[in-house]
């Protein structure tokens, strides 16, 4: 849920100032929206199953990632592997982000360095810099920001 969605729920449920008193179900709707933002569910993405946040853009890159979005911060934890006997070229897209709520903030990139690989999350893509060595598995645990 984006900030604008939350504001819309708030306005829909609390926006009518002509009512003499508040309606409990409206308070509950807004409270549920706040809870959903602060304590969101974890979404597991695995290249061997149906994907809802990411897309596998390189069949040699397999991953098991858990995404947890809280407000405009996304935490990503899991493993990414290059199963090929060849390196993935520098600055090649390795994972696509198809769910727009999880796209990285416009105009910004988040870098995460693990061992010899630096990952960049920018817009709706994740890249490996300088390259992703062959037959390598990397554990990741990083945060990035989305648009409000």
pLDDT of residue 109: 81
The more confident residue out of 143 and 116 is 143
The more confident residue out of 5 and 137 is 137
pTM tops 0.95: no
Range 30-43 average pLDDT: 72
Of 126, 36, 141, 140, whose CA–CA distance to 80 is shortest? 140
Per DSSP, which regions of 14-104 are E strands?
A: 42-46, 54-56, 61-70, 73-82, 92-97
Contact 95, 125 (CB under 8 A): yes
Q: What is the pLDDT of residues 96-114, one digit of tens each?
A: 999 998 999 887 788 888 7
Residues of the chain with CATH 2.60.40: 42-145
pLDDT of residue 14: 65
Select from 2.60.40, 1.10.3430, 1.10.3470, 2.30.30 the CATH code of 42-145.
2.60.40
For residue 115, pLDDT over 80 is answered with no
Distances (CA, A) of 115 to 61, 67, 121, 131: 17, 21, 17, 12
The more confident residue out of 22 and 4 is 4
What single DSSP character describes residue 132? B
What phi and psi values does residue 95 have, to the nearest 5 degrees?
-140, 135
Of the pLDDT bands very low, low, confident and very high (cuts 50, 70, 90), residue 15 is: low
Q: What is the pLDDT of residues 58-84, one digit of tens each?
A: 999 999 999 998 888 999 999 999 999
């Amino acid at each position: 849920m984006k900030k604008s969605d939350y504001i819309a729920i708030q306005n829909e449920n609390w926006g009518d100032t002509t009512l003499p008193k508040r309606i409990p179900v409206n308070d509950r709707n807004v409270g549920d929206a706040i809870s959903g933002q602060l304590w969101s569910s974890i979404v597991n993405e695995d290249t061997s199953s149906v994907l809802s946040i990411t897309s596998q853009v390189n069949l040699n890159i397999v991953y098991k990632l858990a995404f947890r979005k809280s407000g405009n911060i996304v935490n990503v934890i899991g493993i990414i592997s290059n199963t090929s006997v060849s390196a993935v070229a520098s600055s090649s897209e390795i994972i696509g982000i198809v769910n727009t709520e999880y796209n990285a903030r416009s105009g910004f990139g988040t870098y995460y360095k693990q061992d010899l690989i630096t990952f960049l999350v920018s817009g709706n893509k994740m890249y490996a810099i300088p390259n992703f060595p062959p037959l390598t598995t990397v554990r990741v645990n990083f945060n990035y920001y989305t648009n409000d």
